[in-house]
């Protein structure tokens, strides 16, 4: 949905609310001193939103918030309880789940839900600032952790640097500490006079102040926009593009090798590589598309308001992107975890009712059983964990096939030399 679509929808809601003032129960501004002190003057130019819209938001955010909390708790439990899943690359997924869990629990249900049914922010100025801080902190942690995951896959699959092709626990911890500190640094300036946390949209949730035109506030918001949106999204898009490109190049190399060696089953080799190619492209498109769908409208609306373009900014056009953005914490764990074969197997063991619609494939069960019977090396475990997001069994088959063919080729050449 484009920003213009959000603007049109928001304007229609505003017109509908104005037209139906007599039929809808309409709230009035609660001008108690504490609430008045945290409401930006721009929002006072609009009538209060009718109660029915507040109630709809309350129901919606309850579903999203509870689903996000339960989904991320499930991801954390499965990854923490299964020894085979406690690998360095999966530490990034656990960090993402922690961020999304906190975001859903604090910025969704119950604070926003209760405020929605109260038709205004109900928790005071201090809680508004803490609410906005937690939303900013864990929102930044989420997007920056997604960038780390894309970098890890890029280093393992595309292998631009040989020293970075395997991820260790120490390196994973250092990278995560950097992300958390980086996110913390960008979330704290409003407490020191650079920016502010204020209610937004329907005045039932709080976020960064993107309306005040002071020099300090503009510099802070633009820096935050670049450092925690443009750069992470750029890293994600670059890494996934390089991953798909690397898988495609590897597929072509395998086909050339099969033709040179007159392999008896080159089509089977192509199928394995093709599956990895399609899987990599599919996951990449889903991750980038859903993230952009959730956060881009909010980022653009905030940027337009900050630069003074407020023609289409009203409580409705401000609230709709907020709801889309809060939804991202609900489906992030499923994108990263449900595509993990070992996760599906552990989920089937512990909660079979949750995966009855898409049980693990027989090949995944057989491979996992074989892997548990033979202890893999440290490098193999790290590589398998990193590649698991892109259909690891196919990539493993591709790598093993290539190694076998290379070994076979060297053996044949040595044999021919001896015969001569």
Q: How confident is the model at residue 410 (pLDDT cuts 50, 70, 90)?
A: very low
pLDDT, averaged across the chain: 76
Least confident of 87-91, 266-270, 311-315, 404-408: 404-408
Q: Is there a contact between 178 and 22 (Cβ–Cβ < 8 Å)?
A: no
Q: How confident is the model at residue 30 (pLDDT cuts 50, 70, 90)?
A: low
Q: What pLDDT, in 10s, does the model give residues 330-347? A: 887 677 666 777 777 888
Residues 6+ apart with CB under 8 A from 121: 35, 38, 115, 128, 199, 203, 204, 205, 206
Percent over 70 (pLDDT), the chain:
69
At residue 321, φ and ψ (nearest 5 deg) are -60, -30
Q: What pLDDT, in 10s, does the model give residues 288-305? A: 788 778 888 888 888 888
| Average confidence (pLDDT) over 44-64 | 92
Q: Is there a contact between 299 and 225 (Cβ–Cβ < 8 Å)?
A: yes
Does the structure show a pLDDT above 80 at 90? yes
Distance of CA 407 to the CA centre of its chain: 41
Confidence (pLDDT) at 61: 95
Does the structure show a pLDDT above 60 at 159? yes
Q: What pLDDT, in 10s, does the model give residues 353-403? A: 877 766 777 666 655 555 555 444 443 444 444 444 444 444 444 444 444
Of 49 and 26, the one with more pLDDT: 49
Report the candidate in 101, 106, 128 with the shortest Cα–Cα distance to residue 200.
128
Does the structure show a pLDDT above 80 at 29? no
- Is the omega angle on the peptide bond into residue 234 within 30 degrees of 0, that is, cis? no
Per-residue b/e over 281-297, b at no fewer than 16 CB within 10 Å? bebbeebbeebeebbbb
Residues β-bridged to residue 199:
206
Least confident of 85-89, 114-118, 409-413: 409-413
Q: Is there a contact between 20 and 53 (Cβ–Cβ < 8 Å)?
A: no
Percent over 90 (pLDDT), the chain:
28
pTM for the predicted model, two decimal places: 0.76
Confidence (pLDDT) at 403: 45
Of 253 and 367, the one with more pLDDT: 253
Q: What pLDDT, in 10s, does the model give residues 350-362? A: 888 877 766 777 6
Q: Which of 7-11, 79-83, 330-334, 342-346 has the highest mean pLDDT?
A: 79-83
Does the structure show a pLDDT above 70 at 419? no
Least confident of 11-25, 51-65, 231-245, 309-323: 11-25
Confidence (pLDDT) at 345: 83
- What are the boundaries of each domain within the chain? 3-405
| Average confidence (pLDDT) over 115-124 | 89
| Average confidence (pLDDT) over 113-120 | 91
Q: Is there a contact between 76 and 94 (Cβ–Cβ < 8 Å)?
A: yes
Q: Which helix (H) or strand (E) is 197 found in, with range?
A: strand 197-200
Q: How confident is the model at residue 314 (pLDDT cuts 50, 70, 90)?
A: very high
Of 21 and 180, the one with more pLDDT: 180
Q: Which position has the token pair 């633009």?
A: 222
Confidence (pLDDT) at 36: 77
CATH of 3-405, picked from 3.40.80.10, 1.20.1290.10, 1.10.10.10, 1.20.1070.10, is 1.20.1070.10
| Average confidence (pLDDT) over 323-330 | 88
Pairing status of strand 197-200 against strand 205-208: antiparallel
Report the candidate in 232, 56, 217, 81 with the shortest Cα–Cα distance to residue 144.
232
């Amino acid at each position: 949905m484009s920003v213009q679509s959000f603007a049109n929808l928001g304007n229609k809601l505003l017109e509908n609310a104005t037209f139906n003032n007599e039929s809808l129960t309409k709230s009035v501004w609660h001008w108690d001193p504490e609430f008045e002190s945290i409401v930006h003057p721009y929002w006072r130019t609009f009538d209060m939103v009718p109660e029915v819209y507040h109630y709809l938001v309350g129901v919606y955010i309850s579903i999203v918030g509870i689903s996000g909390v339960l989904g991320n708790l499930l991801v954390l439990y499965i990854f923490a309880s299964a020894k085979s899943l406690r690998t360095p690359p999966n530490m990034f997924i656990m960090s993402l789940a922690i961020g999304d869990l906190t975001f859903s629990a604090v910025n969704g249900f119950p604070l926003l839900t209760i405020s929605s049914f109260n038709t205004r922010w109900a928790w005071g100025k201090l809680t508004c600032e803490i609410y906005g801080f937690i939303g900013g902190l864990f929102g930044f942690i989420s997007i920056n952790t997604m960038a780390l995951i894309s970098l890890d896959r890029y280093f393992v699959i595309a292998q631009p640097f040989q020293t970075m092709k395997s991820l260790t626990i120490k390196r994973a911890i250092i990278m995560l500490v950097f992300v958390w500190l980086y996110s913390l640094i960008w979330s704290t300036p409003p407490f020191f006079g650079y920016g502010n946390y204020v209610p937004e949209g329907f005045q039932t949730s709080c976020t960064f102040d993107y309306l005040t035109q002071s020099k300090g506030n503009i510099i802070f918001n633009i820096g935050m926009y670049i450092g925690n949106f443009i750069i992470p999204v750029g890293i994600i898009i670059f890494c996934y593009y390089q991953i798909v490109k690397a898988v495609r190049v590897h597929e072509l190399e395998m086909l050339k090798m099969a033709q040179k060696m007159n392999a008896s089953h080159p089509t089977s080799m192509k199928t394995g590589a093709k599956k990895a190619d399609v899987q990599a492209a599919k996951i990449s498109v889903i991750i980038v598309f859903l993230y952009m769908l959730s956060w881009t409208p909010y980022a653009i609306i905030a940027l337009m308001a900050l630069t003074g373009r407020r023609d289409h900014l009203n409580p409705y056009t401000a609230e709709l992107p907020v709801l889309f953005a809060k939804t991202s914490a609900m489906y992030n764990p499923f994108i990263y975890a449900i595509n993990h074969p070992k996760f599906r197997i552990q989920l089937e063991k512990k909660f079979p009712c949750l995966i009855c619609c898409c049980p693990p494939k027989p090949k995944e069960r057989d491979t996992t059983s074989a892997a548990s019977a033979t202890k893999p090396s440290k490098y193999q475990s790290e590589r398998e964990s990193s590649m698991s997001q892109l259909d690891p069994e196919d990539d493993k088959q591709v790598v093993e096939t290539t190694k076998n063919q290379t070994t076979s080729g060297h053996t044949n050449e040595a044999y021919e030399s001896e015969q001569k």
